[in-house]
Amino acid sequence: MAAAAAVSWFLARDQPIWVAAVGGIAAGAIAGLIADRIVLWPARLRSGGPLGAARPSIAGLAALAAFGVLAPEPERPTHVLSAGIIRIASFGASKLTLEGTIVSILAIVAVVLIVRSTRYGLGLRALGSNTPAARAAGVGVEPMNIRTALLASACGALAAIALFSAPDYFAGRSTPFDLPLAGLAAVALGGLASIPGAIIGGFVIAIAQVFAPTADAGDAVAAALLLLAIAVVPRGILPATRLREADRA
Amino acid sequence: MTQHEVGPFAELLWRFGIVGLIGLGVWLVLRCGRVMLGNAAFAAIAAASTAALIARGTPAAVAILAGIVAAAVCGAIFGFAAARTGAAAFAIASLSLWAIELSVRAPTGDALHSFGSPAVVVAAAIAAGIGAWFYARSGSGRAAAAVGQDERAAQGVGIDPIRERLIAVTLGALLAGVAGSLSALYPGFDITAYRLHGDIAGLAAVVFGGVGSAFGPLLGAVLVAIAAVAPLTKEHAAAVNAVALLAATIVLPGGVLSIFWRAARR
Amino acid sequence: MIDVREAAVSFGGVKALDNVSIICSLGQIVGVVGPSGAGKSTLFDAISGRHPLVSGSISIGGATIDGMAPQVVARRGLARTYQEDRLFTSMTVLDNVFAGAHLVGAMHSEALARSVLESLGLRDRANAHVWELAPGERRRVALARAIASSAKALVLDEPLRSLDESELEVVRTVLRGIANESGGRAILISDRDVDAIAGLCDRVVALHAGKAIAHGTFDEVVRDVDVRDAYLGVEWRQ
């Protein structure tokens, strides 16, 4: 929402598309960080108590619902976003959509490289594997959470911008929760703690949704795949190596 | 649900009853250490089934029972799929129920509203609360609580965590089914009321009231119902529930009842 | 009663248990000693069904329990305690012990729970909540829960830790008593501190790096050369 609103704002002021996109990603990242600090961090601080480990999940859902109700849907500047249709044979796609897709693929590659090849990525994987051990080894939990909130929100913002640029994406959408649902389904189906798994899951969900007759049917397909994944392949199609080896052992 | 042909007091009672029933279902699952984020979907299934049957001339009692059974069966199927998963996977799986909430359709019309009475739904909610209280003190109820406290220790005393979670999810869906079936008789019944906001209202009832007792969700349901009909908040009830739920989760996770427990211990 | 034969457990290529055999009959208390990382808890986890065996077998009362889920093993007549207390924190002491007794049958379980608490000196704490208990009391409640289940096989992981002298004496007396009661029970008990279980065990098994390096009475094991090498390092010979 923040990313889409920022993109609309920039485009309404006749800024170039790339400026709008960068502004949108930055806005989305900052909004995600603010949400993490205000909502999830206090819930994480006291994760015991009567609600136990469910506390951050409930806080997150409440925040999502509040935002979904209170945040106005941004106006989509169709005159800019529809400009430039590229046709290949009988297929046509907006130039912006194609550019958005290419940028998204590049972003996925960048995230993979960040997680696999940087100190930040190493610390992130350490925290995910064993938080007390990572902490004892000097990995700062909250600084890592802040950086991860920024990165994850930036990825979400990029996804929103890519979808925002697709014609008629928001038509027929009844709630803002279909994106989180599709994202979770992609991770659950593709594989836990696995970037290749998440990418594969994302493609499977996207293909299923594209061929669904209506937007709501597409969401139903994503939900059914999520439930099926959790019931039949609880670790996903391609879980992280350590999970596969744990199963073999 | 829109305020349609009912006074504010009757509206308060309807909402208390329906939110209380959904909240009790969420509470039962929370006791087992899992968060059910889509319990209102079972209410939606029951509501749609009941409304469809009544619109075709089925006697109301049969239609209501069929709706409840449909919800319980769907709950059992979901429970069978999700009960053996970890906490995070269960919460994610329960989000998949949103898709049901989004896609379920139900007939509306004057023929549906001849039988609705808030007294029935309030009685159902109170009876469910009393039943849940007795269940919590029974062997099975204690076993479920033990699973939620420490699954490994519970297994060590012979308790099957998957079985207890399956029972809790099915019972929770059944209670949501009662709410849904009775709500189909509500004047101004609108199936879209179960799109996420039913889940938020149910969760809010549990968190506001307190998780320590079966009466916590009912107490919380009173607060949620008041927010839905009070002149200051009724136009934005969904937002009020969500924001208040967020605040309560962070500041008062034990709910209103925890204030009394702490005072009593002093 | 508890029959472990050539049990092996691996975690991702690391042998946590390697060809370990232990027999504990009804009426016996067998101690399992070893430093941290020796494999004591892994052995107990394997016996209680938490870790599958790579090879070997485990049987309780003559029935093989390989591959069974922990709750099924518990219903077959095995109760255990853990290194951590693992109490149900929202329940009272009585309810915690009651949870162990529920396998016996609802009608008798509360009376049984109360009598076990009394024997362990916790009668007055029956209605206390877990967070009000001292560490030694928590340890005894965990033990009470295992005893109240009336399981014929008890696997107790460091039950004497955090106990003061008077509590130690009470627990030793209770364990000896239930081992010798009519029909008897088989009790497998572990501790890092060999002195703690010195006067309690009929036999002792010493583990080191996942292997059983000595079997015998307490004195025999303590004098064993391999045990001394493992505990003290080869320098003790000089």
* Chain B residues with CB-CB distance to C79 below 8 A: 156-157
Residue A212 lies in a domain: yes
Quick check: A223 and A185 in contact, CB under 8 A? yes
| Domain boundaries B8-265, CATH class | mainly alpha
B150/C88 touch (CB, cutoff 8 Å), yes or no: yes
Locate the chain C residue with the closest alpha carbon to A48: C89
Residues β-bridged to residue A87 = A92
The dihedrals phi and psi of C9, each to the nearest 5 degrees, come to -130, 135
Chains A and B: how many Cβ contacts under 8 Å?
142
3-state secondary structure of B234: helix
Residue A98 lies in a domain: no
Chains B and C: how many Cβ contacts under 8 Å?
66
User: Looking at CA atoms only, how far is residue A246 from chain C in angstroms?
Assistant: 6
Neighbours of chain B (3+ CB pairs under 8 A): A, C
The dihedrals phi and psi of A188, each to the nearest 5 degrees, come to -65, -40
Quick check: B196 and B97 in contact, CB under 8 A? no
Residue among A42, A187, A223 minimizing CB distance to B99 = A223
Q: Rounded CA gap, A149 and C186, in Å? A: 53
Local structure of residue A211 (DSSP, 8 states): T
Which tokens is C200 given?
A: 């309690």
Residue A160 lies in a domain: no
Residue A217 lies in a domain: yes
Q: Can you list the alpha helix ranges (DSSP code H) found in chain A?
A: 2-12, 17-35, 41-45, 55-70, 78-81, 95-117, 119-129, 131-136, 141-164, 178-190, 195-210, 215-232, 241-248
Sequence-ordered list of residues with C-beta below 8 angstroms from that of A171, at least 6 positions apart, any chain:
A215
Quick check: A36 and A149 in contact, CB under 8 A? yes
* Chain B residues with CB-CB distance to C74 below 8 A: 155-158
- Please report which confidence band the pLDDT of residue C22 belongs to, taking 50, 70 and 90 as the band edges: very high
The amino acid at residue A245 is E
| Better-scored residue on pLDDT, A245 or A216 | A216
| Better-scored residue on pLDDT, B91 or A231 | B91
Max Cα–Cα distance, chain A, nearest Å: 61
| Better-scored residue on pLDDT, C222 or A92 | C222
Locate the chain C residue with the closest alpha carbon to B143: C99
Q: What is the pLDDT of residues A155-186, one digit of tens each?
A: 888 877 776 666 555 544 544 556 677 777 77
Q: Rounded CA gap, C190 and C197, in Å? A: 8
Q: Rounded CA gap, B121 and B180, in Å? A: 10
Question: Rounded mean pLDDT of chain C?
Answer: 87
* Chain A residues with CB-CB distance to C13 below 8 A: 249
Using DSSP bridges, classify how beta strands C211-216 and C203-208 pair: parallel, antiparallel or unpaired.
antiparallel
Give how many domains chain A has, as a whole number. Answer: 1
Give the distance, in angstroms, between the CA of residue B113 and the centroid of all CA atoms in the same chain.
22
Please tell me the predicted confidence (pLDDT) of residue B113: 59
pTM of the model: 0.84
Please tell me the predicted confidence (pLDDT) of residue C98: 80
* Chain C residues with CB-CB distance to A246 below 8 A: 12
Quick check: A236 and A187 in contact, CB under 8 A? yes
A177/B93 touch (CB, cutoff 8 Å), yes or no: no
Please tell me the predicted confidence (pLDDT) of residue A238: 67
Which tokens is A163 given?
A: 């979808």
Domain region containing A208 = 174-249
Which tokens is C24 given?
A: 């504990």
> Length of chain A, please?
249
Residues β-bridged to residue C23 = C3
A45 closest CA partner among B120, B101, B253 = B253
3-state secondary structure of A94: strand
Quick check: C123 and C94 in contact, CB under 8 A? no
The amino acid at residue B185 is L
Q: Rounded CA gap, C59 and C65, in Å? A: 5
Sequence-ordered list of residues with C-beta below 8 angstroms from that of C194, at least 6 positions apart, any chain:
C31, C33, C204, C218, C222
- Residue A26 has a CB neighbour count (10 Å cut-off) of 17
Q: What is the pLDDT of residues B223-256, one digit of tens each?
A: 999 888 887 777 777 788 888 888 888 887 777 7
Residue A224 lies in a domain: yes
C13/A249 touch (CB, cutoff 8 Å), yes or no: yes
Which tokens is C144 given?
A: 């009470």
Q: Rounded CA gap, C208 and C40, in Å? A: 9
Which tokens is B240 given?
A: 């009020």
Work out the average pLDDT over C120-143. Answer: 92
B158/C103 touch (CB, cutoff 8 Å), yes or no: yes
Which tokens is B114 given?
A: 């001849």
Please tell me the predicted confidence (pLDDT) of residue A89: 67
With 70 as the cut, is the pLDDT of residue B114 above it? no
Q: Rounded CA gap, C70 and C68, in Å? A: 6
User: Looking at CA atoms only, how far is residue A89 from chain B in angstroms?
Assistant: 35
* Chain C residues with CB-CB distance to B156 below 8 A: 48, 70-71, 74, 79-80, 82, 86
Per-position DSSP letters for chain C, written without gaps between them: -EEEEEEEEEETTEEEEEEEEEEE-TT-EEEEE--TTSSHHHHHHHHTTSS--SEEEEEETTEE-TT--HHHHHHTTEEEE-SS----TTSBHHHHHHHHHTTT-HHHHHHHHHHHHHHTT-GGGTT-BGGGS-HHHHHHHHHHHHHHTT-SEEEEESTTTT--HHHHHHHHHHHHHHHHSTT--EEEEEES-GGGGTTT-SEEEEEETTEEEEEE-HHHHHH-HHHHHHHH-GGGG-
Please tell me the predicted confidence (pLDDT) of residue C105: 58
Work out the average pLDDT over C118-132. Answer: 91
- What is the ipTM metric for this complex? 0.82
| Better-scored residue on pLDDT, A167 or B52 | B52
